A and B are shown apart, each in its own frame.
Chain A
């Protein structure tokens, strides 16, 4: 049996459904991320685990015990808040030791545990500082130490890094992961940052509009997105529409040009429209791959280690992005140049039929 189990969770606020049929079973020590845009229900789900919200239906169980109706202060679940929520009237030591003090633990034990935790977060000399005397990154570490002090069964982190600078974000996220691994604590991490989720997690739960779109390892979610939402939300993706020409052989026609997918198309018959996707980094300039598309360079953007070339396909309005690694010897095509881009059949992901309504709309417009 899984350590943290959410079964059939629903949450409605009045008329609106915030979370719809959420099921997750996380193993002991697993690091799970909830990834999605704001308002997708990820924070609401987290707050239901902490007990700040009551699910309209469904159960939350930790280590086999149903805690759905338990008050937040009876749950032994540690939480790190987006705003840190450090108590401004207490020192760092006071904040970290708070959970132990309200549990009426002896003073010397509290002090010992506080020292341990401050060592763990690399702030042993800041015990007597007040939160307002610390940087944002330091405050976040203290918030983490405070949540860990009570030795919670589950650690919850609600967008803990969103208020920090890009550099500190990367450093801290590595630290969080290292601490999590060393303690072996089951962790749920809420974020809207796909890079964070990909780099930290054992598994990612991608959410949209209250529903789970996909649960999978970072590798699966990135390389084999289950839906077009996942495909577009996780990483940059060329998402476009193609017509199925030969389902059995994986033949498609996109923008009037034939392409091939590695696998047969099973979700739609010949002649139907499907959504396909391929990642910019899977494409290259030139004629190296089995699939070739002709087009005109629209613009070129330097993104540091990567150069992104946007190509206007020859026969239509479709624009495809191509990423290549930056290299001083690279010859970048100019805007307006005629180019060929190519990619292997493995790069083509056939996701789903476009919604019927959209197709009808197109007919109606025409």
Chain B
């Protein structure tokens, strides 16, 4: 490696570094324009809506994780164990959310469930159900991949047969044998889900949910310095989620970190 080309690679890295940090710096500088210093952060964190929407989004995120795991783990496990012929089809379904971006998904959900036999979009509870359902669908691609690679790493067949020969039933096998062995995959899938759900805007807005994403947007339209503070807080939350993924995912074969469009 000669000196000139190494210099060029350093240059590339520095450009990338600046691209990454300048918007954050800009946001921070803007948030500091409110006097006294850090008052923007104080105002935001004192705003009851801040805590309410954040907690709401967090609860929705946790529910999404539970539903997603409850759907994906038994399915991926069962397909590996008994229905390998269905694998390509199940995989295809889990990739569909890449083809159907959130804006289309919420469009379809609104039209399908606004009237008809199941008018979920008409009530608060129904809308919450739709929100969790939509987020669960969005989590399919990476959840399934995480679980499937996790299952590949353990010998599902032998583990199941060993448990059965010791007298365990299906539920016990799943909860006490399979899921503990998928811990790393499930944790990274869970934190990724949180990173996406907390702050998601498109679906939450159209379902008129009191979520964190629409709250930031609302703030952005009404206030001057506070949105900068919230943006940075939101960035920090993403960073924490990703940090937890790499913390728990250390040594895991694949870290699933890629999600669809927003």
The reply to whether A and B meet directly (CB within 8 Å) is no
Binding site for A on B (CB under 8 A): none
Binding site for B on A (CB under 8 A): none
